[in-house]
Amino acid sequence: MTLEGLCITLVVIALVIGIGGAWQRTTRTTPACRSCRFDLRGSGLEHKTCPECGSPLDREGAAYYPQTWAKPRLARCAILCLMLGVTGLVVTSHHRFDLGWDIHQHKPIGLLHWQATRSNQTTAIPAVEELTRRIVAGEVARADEIDLIDRALAFQADPQHQWTGAWGDLIEEAAAAGIATREQVATYVEQGLVLAVPASRVVLASDYHDFEAHGQVERLGTAQSYVVRLRLDTITLGENDVDFTIAAFNRLTTSAQSDFRLNQDLHWNADPRAPSPVTYHFHSSVNRADTAGPAFTGTHRLHAELEILSYETVRNMLTEDRRLLDQIREALSVRTPRHDVSESQEVLRVLIRTDGLPLPITFELISHYDGGHLPMRRLRLPNGRSKARTIDLPIERFVPKQPLTVVLRPVGADDDSLDITFRSIVAGRN
């Protein structure tokens, strides 16, 4: 129950007690002096004057029978509940008064901790902000600092908990002040920067591994944008590390665009193998883009399953299953080639698109133009996701309305039986 809910409950209890008879009054059976309200019990009315104030009692109306609470103890309980409830509602509904007095600065840390962890966001956010101020100012005991940061990390890890960026600010401010431990900062980064790779993939045994991953920044502080830096340090395939060139990625995320993709051809050397576990080891860091604050670092380990095919395996698969070759042909498209100039060299620019290749494949790109052969190129295409590759084919001269023939032949093919051919008129420069 929130503090506001407790206060409302107290007010309701006071009203229920009142309706139940606590406010009822009754007439006393003994008289009292009207002048001083002295109880004349035991004195009787035979006295001519009041023993307390000396007022005459023999005149009409000098003594009377007063009224009192029918249930005095219950009435006192109702009044106490009403006072506590109304006071609590006033305090919790007005965080700052007209005089500029911040009431949270005067609350005990126990109450702030209770409001920050058990109240709704309207009450929790100012409480967390005040706790952050006290932590940075050194007004909180070390044990309480660690406990608050651990509590924030637990909220961050719980998808069922309604996250507020004020908790992220508390961790970031504590880390910048050197209060949060290295382990706490690493946990904050690992939970707030979510990375994922496809659960299983098929790649080709070659000098390149077309690595891909998806990332998202979530459940961090209130900053509008964060700079994400990732470095792929190690790849473990099966039980052994694979030699490869270290890859680095820099991404800028905003509140409107918090997710990003990582795509890069990694130079490596891996032999063909059946599906095997693979682990990608990342060194990661995030920092606010709008301030010159420190970077918060952590590590990520992404697990997947990787199957590595040889060129010969792919060639045999295409030879034995012609439907597979038809699926590859349907997934490929070549945009109209265009004549252009690149680095003072005339070229034919060819854009090749893929959409859902059933398996990864590498082609020898054989092209014919103006009665001659152009230099052969090698084209690597991943399976699954859509991909676009631009290839510049150098030419000696441009001949208008001359067709370009592009032949894609799988690497390792012995003849032209697996060729995929495209033919189009070359467009001139814009």
Take residue 222 and report the two structure tokens written for it.
């209130």
Nearest to 200 by CA among 355, 360, 361: 360
Rounded mean pLDDT of the chain? 84
Name the CA dihedral angle for 41, 46, 49, 51, rounded to a multiple of 10 degrees.
Answer: -30
- For residue 35, which amino acid is it? S
Question: How much is the pLDDT for 53?
Answer: 83
Crossing angle of helices 3-17 and 72-93, rounded to 10°: 150
Question: How much is the pLDDT for 294?
Answer: 87
Nearest to 134 by CA among 164, 113, 118: 113
The reply to whether 324-425 shares the fold of 197-309 is: yes
pLDDT tens column, 295-327: 999 999 999 999 999 999 999 999 999 999 999
Regions in the chain scoring below 50 on pLDDT: 94-100
Give the span between the Cα atoms of 217 and 191, in whole angstroms: 9
Nearest to 72 by CA among 17, 23, 127, 19: 23
**DSSP assigned state of 428:** P
Longest CA–CA span in the chain (Å) reads 143
- β-bridge partners, 140: none
pLDDT tens column, 80-129: 777 777 777 666 554 444 444 567 777 788 888 888 887 677 778 888 99
Architecture of the domain defined by 324-425: Sandwich (2.60)
CB atoms within 10 A of CB 174: 25
CB atoms within 10 A of CB 320: 8
**197-309 topology per CATH:** Immunoglobulin-like (2.60.40)
pLDDT tens column, 392-429: 999 888 888 889 999 999 998 988 999 999 999 988 77
Question: How much is the pLDDT for 23?
Answer: 52
Domain range list for the chain: 3-93, 103-180, 197-309, 324-425
Nearest to 363 by CA among 386, 335, 391, 340: 391
Give Cα 403 to chain centroid, integer Å. 52
User: Strand, coil or helix: what is 35?
Assistant: coil
Give the span between the Cα atoms of 253 and 218, in whole angstroms: 10
Do β-strands 338-342 and 332-334 pair in parallel, antiparallel, or remain unpaired? unpaired
